[in-house]
Amino acid sequence: MDLNTTLLLVLAILLGITVSSALVIARTAKSKGYSFGLFFFFAIVSYLITAVVTVLLRPKGQANARPRISSLALLILGIVVEFVGLGYIPESQLTAESDAAAIAAMLQDSQFIGGVAIAFAGLLIVIGSVANDYRAAGKEEVRQL
């Protein structure tokens, strides 16, 4: 696979991750009584800020509601893991004049791949904390024997 195909594949994967995380954030905000479209847009722009806001939001009509402790703990853990992973990514010496070999060497560096993998795990933990905060408004489970 050549470099252009690899970069296009990475861009498509990043777009898929962005849209899917924005859907989770918007769905959770809607479950709390807020606008799906507004939170979807803000999550596309900055998922991390919108995830924090979504977890800390009170459901409409519940003035004394508090955020779930498990969601807050997962959110904090996810943010820490993500920034630790970003810290492991080495500084690149790439410039606008860098050739394809320099970009390919950076993408094959094990420290770069490890840092990206850890940061991706942090992203998944943050999105999991938002999904954990989903409120099933008025829906009761009925167990049948």
Write out pLDDT tens, residues 28-69: 999 988 999 999 999 999 999 999 999 999 888 888 888 889
124 has pLDDT over 90 = yes
Q: How confident is the model at residue 107 (pLDDT cuts 50, 70, 90)?
A: confident
Query: Residue 72's closest CA among 135, 136, 126?
Result: 126
Straight-line distance from the first to the last Cα atom of the chain, in angstroms, rounded to the nearest whole number: 55
Helix-then-strand count for the chain, H and E: 6, 0
Q: Give the pLDDT confidence score for residue 130 in this predicted structure.
A: 92
Lowest mean pLDDT segment, chosen from 29-33, 58-62, 74-78, 94-98: 94-98
Q: Give the pLDDT confidence score for residue 144 in this predicted structure.
A: 62
Mean pLDDT of 110-117: 92
Q: Are 103 and 94 in contact (CB under 8 A)?
A: yes
Query: Which alpha helices (DSSP H) does 32-109 contain, by range?
Result: 36-45, 47-56, 69-88, 100-108
Mean pLDDT of 137-141: 54
Q: Are 81 and 118 in contact (CB under 8 A)?
A: yes
105 has pLDDT over 60 = yes
Q: How confident is the model at residue 99 (pLDDT cuts 50, 70, 90)?
A: confident
Q: Give the pLDDT confidence score for residue 22 in this predicted structure.
A: 96
Helix (H) or strand (E) holding 116: helix 110-132
Rounded CA gap, 16 and 109, in Å? 24
137 has pLDDT over 70 = no
Residue 112 has, within 13 A of its CA and on its CB side, a CA count of 11
78 has pLDDT over 80 = yes
- The model carries a pTM of 0.83
Q: Are 93 and 137 in contact (CB under 8 A)?
A: no
Chain mean pLDDT for the chain = 87
| Residue whose structure tokens are 């990475």 | 10
